[in-house]
Structure 1
Amino acid sequence: MRPTVLIAEDHSVVRMGTMVMLEQMYPNILVSEAASFDEVIEQLSQTKFDLIILDIHIPGGDNIKMIETIHLRQPGIRILIFSSYDERLFAINYIQAGAMGYVQKDASNIIVKIAIAKVLNDEQYISADLQKNMVNRWLKTGNKPKKGLMVLSAREREIMNLLIKGHRTNEIKTILNIQASTISTHKERIFTKLNVENVIELEQLVRAEMKKGN
């Protein structure tokens, strides 16, 4: 097997580490790199890839909409999300959008290798912890209406995650490449949907929801 893989990540250290890992797994692998989503599009127009390892916040990307954009250019490509964001908040949305797996950047090398191997073998990768979390939530809610954090859209969850990490509007604007007014609108919707009045209450609610899934 000689897979072709595109690493879409703006941090050179992460790209290098991922490349070394891939070469250990597949000595004859062909690896390409992209540091922005514009470079991803350019690479997709030049080479047919078996797999793209994609960071959610690669510069120029549009978060979950990137999945559709990538598949429009290469319908058969496998997508593995490689993110620093908590899988319990984001993985399901990206997998439902068409990604075949989601692995956190703080996962062990063994876990990352398992995720890569599974996705390259046309298998979906979901961590054991996330599977447990999903089962627990299903047992508790069944087919009931969405509750807690599940009422938020993918974009609202991203902004929520940045807010509870202490990022201010100007920082979020730069990270997500969106207008400050858009952030304010999403923030207001988040507070309304979750019935909280400030970021402190939001953080407390998120912690409580995470405990429910464990």
Structure 2
Amino acid sequence: MNHLENYSLPTRVLLVEDYAIIRLATKVLIKETFKSAIIHEAATLRDGISCLEAHEIDLVLLDIQLPDSEGVAMISKIRMVQPKVRILIFSGLNEQIYGLHYIKAGANGFLSKDATKDQMQAAISATLNDRRFLSEVMQGKILNENMYPGFVPENPLEALSIRELEVMDMLLDGLWVKEIANQLGLTESSVSTYKSKIFERLGVTTLIELYTEAEKFRQ
């Protein structure tokens, strides 16, 4: 399969990832297929935005667990700078839990960090050619949801909204309700309501129980 398809090189890629070793490995994989690629790097969303303001970019390869991550809001923030840029989420988080939320928010695809080299090449090729990239796992999830209204996933985290997932992740990172409210631009009462819904859906009553249940289902 010709992963380059009809896309004309050089490809201008912005890799937004806070771990240097992952940036290095990803650059090597991109260069194997897109030999003339121009690759810019950023370790934070803020640095990524600065790069987008300074350079024309074809594709943003975006981690969603950045030190200054803003969740799905990062999609619109990036597109405020370059409206037509393609965004491929590149994450170690569970694709079945987080993937569809980011696709619905406007990302061109969601690629797991567990993906093979061929899958990465296919994902980049698809997004550069203005197609959505969905793994077979994601396609099956969408098919189930569309064919069977009311379908209840075995993993309770898949039933959480993206905002509930964001609040849950911040709680698990040790943030207090007030800190979460400030970061997400919400009221403290709204965050408390999300927290209550999360506890109810996972059948827990304490943060320790939440951590235990979340770790069971996030892998």
Scaled by the length of structure 1, the TM-score of the pair is 0.79
> How far did 1:101 drift?
0.3
Give the total of aligned pairs: 203
**Pair 1:156–1:22, CA change in 2 (3 A):** same
Please, which of 22, 35, 38 is the counterpart of residue 30 of structure 1? 38
Letter in 1 for 2:137: D
For 2:77 and 2:34, the matched residues in 1 are separated by 28
RMSD: 3.4
> How far did 1:150 drift?
5.3
For 1:16 and 1:170, the matched residues in 2 are separated by 31
Letter in 1 for 2:18: D
Letter in 2 for 1:129: V
1:149-160 matches, within 5 Å, as: 149=157, 151-160=159-168
Please, which of 52, 60, 64 is the counterpart of residue 68 of structure 2? 60
Letter in 1 for 2:106: G
Letter in 2 for 1:95: I
The answer to whether the 8 Å contact 1:7/1:15 transfers is yes
The answer to whether the 8 Å contact 1:4/1:49 transfers is yes
1:62-211 matches, within 5 Å, as: 62-140=70-148, 142=149, 144=150, 149=157, 151-160=159-168, 167=172, 169-170=174-175, 178=183, 185=192, 186-198=194-206, 200=209
The answer to whether the 8 Å contact 1:149/1:206 transfers is no
For 2:75 and 2:12, the matched residues in 1 are separated by 18
Q: Which has a greater percent of helix? A: 1
Structure 2: gaps (5+ residues): 1-8
For 1:54 and 1:204, the matched residues in 2 are separated by 27
% of aligned pairs identical? 31
**Pair 1:76–1:168, CA change in 2 (3 A):** closer
Letter in 1 for 2:42: A
More divergent stretch after superposition (2-11 vs 181-190): 181-190
> Partner of 2:87: helix, strand, or coil?
strand
> How far did 1:34 drift?
0.5
> How far did 1:138 drift?
3.0
Scaled by the length of structure 2, the TM-score of the pair is 0.77
More divergent stretch after superposition (190-199 vs 62-71): 190-199
For 1:201 and 1:92, the matched residues in 2 are separated by 23
Letter in 2 for 1:24: E
More divergent stretch after superposition (66-75 vs 196-205): 196-205
For 2:77 and 2:101, the matched residues in 1 are separated by 16
Is 1:15 matched up with 2:23?
yes
> Partner of 1:7: helix, strand, or coil?
strand
The answer to whether the 8 Å contact 1:78/1:100 transfers is yes
**Pair 1:8–1:205, CA change in 2 (3 A):** closer
> Partner of 2:89: helix, strand, or coil?
strand
The answer to whether the 8 Å contact 2:100/2:138 transfers is no
